[in-house]
Amino acid sequence: MKLLQQLPASLLYKCVDGSEVYANEACFKLFGLGSAREAFLETLAFYDPESKHELTEDSHPFNKCAKEGTINLHVRITSTAKNLNCVVSGTVIYSENQQWIVLNLTSAQDNDISQLAFAKNSPLDNHLAFNRLLSKISSQLINLNSENLDCLIEKKLGAFGEFSGVDRCYIFQFYNDGNLMDNTHEWVAPGITPHKEELKGLSADDLPYFHQVIKSEQIFKVDDVEQLPEVATLEKQEFQREGIGAVLCVAIYLNEKLFGFIGCDIVGSAFSWREHDVRYLKLIGEIVSNTLAAMSNKQSLEQVSAELAAANKQLDHLANSDGLTGIANRRQFDNTLDSAIRRGIRDSDLLSLLFIDVDLFKQFNDTYGHSAGDEALKLVAKTLHECCRRFDDLAARYGGEEFAVILPQTDAKQAHYIAELIQLKLEELAIPFDGSPGNKILSVSIGIATQACTIALTSGQLVGMADKALYQAKAKGRNRIEVYQ
């Protein structure tokens, strides 16, 4: 197979029945290899650029070609030298009484990051292709929401990474006044190890040279990690740990403040970054920055709106709640009763109203003090609230020691049951009161009014009926229930 060694095309080949893979000089040159060729051939791996799955067994280019006779595939090739997007065309030939599988590798990049994957285009074509990519990314980032933000940004990093032919593309965010940073978004090419989860909480002391350069010059560009200056020893060690041969990073600003940076790597080999490589990465960084700024502003507005809604809710609660007991106040009672009557008229329903008065409360206050009186009113209010079983029921403090309970869609029998339940619960509380008409514990008198809702019925009329029933209960000795007749 000496002829294959002399051909200018980049070739990999092996005997159909053999396992050893050979490469010609053009192939070694394509991957930038001068030495360590055996390790290179032993570690070659082929990946599907779409699924990122390694091509093995029947899907491996050599095996696929042996089975089908010819192939033409787009693949990602990883090696100990550099990683390349390639078009792999293969055929089976006969030579020296043997069948040989020959794969022709055509780089989709030709060592130029600006070339669109799987195509060899002029600089103008590449510029137009990049503008189309930029437009597509921008349009897809317009209608972002917080739920799909991270996922979509990583997809856009992937689109740029695949266009550029780099091995890794990522975003880091600074925090703690820029002294710490996290890898927040990352895309990796097939066969490349991701590092996002482990690159959290990196401090300025971990990468001091990088921090200084990215903050002062806004660009960190290294064509060959091996050539980093001595002052960048820590950076060199980290890049070597990650297998990075070349790195390019551009600062990102959010609302005129340094947010972090966007970067991309070439794994396994050096790379000569060009002016348009930096320009393209800057443009992608600006799009991401604008997107993050828009999302940040949106979230700030949503937070302000939520805080305003919460404040309004709190103000509404304060305006409609009794300061001592926490249940509805007179204002909310009046509004709710008017609404209940209107709804009752619409639905032709009954409406019941309970008026409750704490028996001999002035005497209770005089005996036990106002502090004890306040606590007693709180317990009565809590009991009334707990006896309101339905969503539309409302317990309110009407004034002083008087309370009211609105019971929509409730007939007289049901209203009487609620009144009895209130008295029973208060008996269970057993608030001591020697002057009480109810077994030396605090008691209440209750008046009930139940009416069919008609246009003629007003809230004042219903309140008057319940108040008269309450007056009767108090006149007949207190600690009892009376129904308006």
Active site members? 401
**What residues does 358 pair with on adjacent strands?**
444
CA distance 418 to 388: 8
CB 295 within 8 A of CB 185: no
- In sequence order, the 6+-apart residues with CB closer than 8 A to the CB of 434 are 367, 440
Q: What is the DSSP letter of 293?
A: H
CB 443 within 8 A of CB 474: no
Question: Which helix H or strand E contains 202, and what residues bound it?
Answer: strand 202-203
- In sequence order, the 6+-apart residues with CB closer than 8 A to the CB of 384 are 327, 356, 395, 403, 405, 422
Instruction: Write b or e for each residue in 379-397: b if 16 or more Cβ atoms lie within 10 A of its Cβ, otherwise e.
Output: bbbbbbbebbeeeebbbbb
CB 281 within 8 A of CB 264: yes
Question: Which helix H or strand E contains 474, and what residues bound it?
Answer: helix 459-475
Give backbone dihedrals phi and psi of 254, rounded to 5 degrees, phi first. -125, 115
CB 394 within 8 A of CB 407: no
